[in-house]
Amino acid sequence: MQIRKRPRRTALLAMVSAAATAATGLVFASTADAATTLGASAAEKGRYFGAAIAAGRLGDSTYTRLLTTEFTSVTPENEMKWDATEPQQGRFSFTNGDRILNQGLSNGSKVRGHALLWHAQQPGWAQSLSGSALRNAAINHVTQVAGHYKGKIYAWDVVNEAFADGGSGGRRDSNLQRTGNDWIEAAFRAARAADPAAKLCYNDYNTDGINAKSTGIYTMVRDFKARGVPIDCVGFQSHLGTGIDSSYQANLQRFADLGVDVQITELDVQQGGNQANIYATVTRACLAVARCTGITVWGIRDSDSWRDDNPLLFDGGGNKKAAYTSVLNALNAGGTTTPPSSPPVTTSPPPSGGGACAATVSLNSWNGGYVATVRVNAGSAPVNGWTVAVALPSGSAVTSTWNATATGSPGTVSFRNVTYNGQIPAGGHTEFGFQGTGAGPTATPACTVT
């Protein structure tokens, strides 16, 4: 959608107070034990609820009260962007980024890093570079910034907004794109090397349904997973207008089925008749997708927003809007699907026999279900196809699978490679996963080459 940025500020105040009056008329009954904050309610569903915040507003007591009571994740609105962190080439400035980081960590929140590489908000010196000088500078930027925050960031937007709008499904032209189509994977590899603990995300907008742009990104992520380019998550900015695509949830699910987490990263919704409903629809979609790990709104109060159409959950006075109540109710009413929380990848040495494979499984379980991540290791010879047999305890059944096809649930389930991950080089590995009900498998799976 087209975003109208705020010219600001006089006419807006009247609109804000009208919105406040409208919102205070709305009181929803809640059950005695329902969570009363966004963060607490999301946590009950195994998710975070975050906000983009600005270092310059941390002295505002209403702002910090809302931040610390309602939110369990923070994203720097501008403070970790390239122009902020490397204003002169090779001279890094982390003061404001560190303020956001420390605000989040001191409140027990997750911190989303945003954004290592982007065509916008580049420092002037980078804008005037091209070719290998720009490529080297960009990779150095990723290495230095991700390295500075090593071990502290939950998820990094490694690359932001690299795809074109419209029907092409292709890349956006930019100085970075002109360094070669592989600039995105080079950035992800550099980020993994600099901070192996952070989840690495690709983040974009106008991807709020199954469309040409989101399909272009989907194809890239599938290719990255097949070739072992390190990517863990996809961010959907979700800057929304007065409607929401009916395929919003299905789009999240198809990415999750590739074996990446999905996150709503910059949610804001034009104020109007549908604002509260659209917020609830997005919330329910995230709860319905097991690998949707959290939602971030792009600001706290309407007066903090980069937009001029009052798109947030609190009005300019810090009062809860109808949209707030709608999100909280959706969270409290939501199902119990729980996303995997940073699965510990259990590694075992690859088997020594040629043409053989071995599999290990790591589990994230909750009461009534689990997500299993299975790693398939090739031995000292390449593997051209594989099946992995997993014995499920009685009462357990597989409900969804990614990066493999499953037959035989319940009992012993056989997972077979899909077209893009059957071939594993000697000593290499691939991963697939599945979600199930009941208790997860405990025995080591049996891997067979085919």
Residue 95 beta carbon to ligand XIL: minimum distance, rounded to whole angstroms: 18
- Answer for which of 70, 77, 268, 309 binds ligand XIL (CB under 6 A) is 77
CB atoms within 10 A of CB 11: 10
List 429's β-bridge partners, or say none.
377
φ/ψ bin of 36: left (φ > 0), alpha (ψ from -120 to 50), beta (otherwise): alpha
Tokens of 391: 């014995």
Report 48-67 residues binding ligand XIL (CB under 6 A).
none
Closer residue to ligand XIL (CB): 233 or 290: 233
> Cα–Cα distance between 102 and 58 in angstroms, integer?
11
Determine, following the binding rule CB under 6 A, whether residue 6 of this chain makes contact with ligand XIL. no
- Answer for which of 237, 329, 364, 396 binds ligand XIL (CB under 6 A) is 237
φ/ψ bin of 185: left (φ > 0), alpha (ψ from -120 to 50), beta (otherwise): alpha
Residue 250 beta carbon to ligand XIL: minimum distance, rounded to whole angstroms: 23
Query: Helices 248-256 and 275-288, interaxial angle, to 10°?
Result: 30
Check: CB of residue 134 under 8 Å from CB of residue 100. no
What are the CA-CA distances from residue 353 to residues 35, 384, 449 (Å)?
Answer: 54, 15, 12
Count CA within 13 A, CB hemisphere, residue 363.
17
Determine, following the binding rule CB under 6 A, whether residue 302 of this chain makes contact with ligand XIL. no
Closer residue to ligand XIL (CB): 78 or 242: 78
Report 253-292 residues binding ligand XIL (CB under 6 A).
266
Identify which of 315, 217, 237, 219 has the alpha carbon closest to the alpha carbon of residue 282: 237
Report 166-225 residues binding ligand XIL (CB under 6 A).
none
Closer residue to ligand XIL (CB): 206 or 364: 206
Check 70, 77, 79, 266 and give the catalytic one: 266
Check: CB of residue 225 under 8 Å from CB of residue 432. no
Residue 81 beta carbon to ligand XIL: minimum distance, rounded to whole angstroms: 7
Check: CB of residue 240 under 8 Å from CB of residue 281. no
Residue 400 beta carbon to ligand XIL: minimum distance, rounded to whole angstroms: 30
Closer residue to ligand XIL (CB): 53 or 276: 53
Residue 174 beta carbon to ligand XIL: minimum distance, rounded to whole angstroms: 14
Residue 431 appears among annotated catalytic residues: no
Report 101-160 residues binding ligand XIL (CB under 6 A).
160
Q: What are phi and psi of 59, to 5 degrees?
A: -85, -5
Residue 291 beta carbon to ligand XIL: minimum distance, rounded to whole angstroms: 21
Query: Quick one: 4 exposed, middle or buried, by C-beta within 10 A (0-12, 13-18, 19+)?
Result: exposed
Closer residue to ligand XIL (CB): 113 or 441: 113
Determine, following the binding rule CB under 6 A, whether residue 366 of this chain makes contact with ligand XIL. no
Closer residue to ligand XIL (CB): 103 or 237: 237
Determine, following the binding rule CB under 6 A, whether residue 306 of this chain makes contact with ligand XIL. yes
CB nearest ligand XIL: which residue? 306
Check: CB of residue 277 under 8 Å from CB of residue 169. no
Determine, following the binding rule CB under 6 A, whether residue 78 of this chain makes contact with ligand XIL. yes
Closer residue to ligand XIL (CB): 12 or 418: 12
Catalytically annotated residues: 266
Q: Which residues form the interface with ligand XIL (CB under 6 A)? A: 77-78, 160, 237, 266, 306
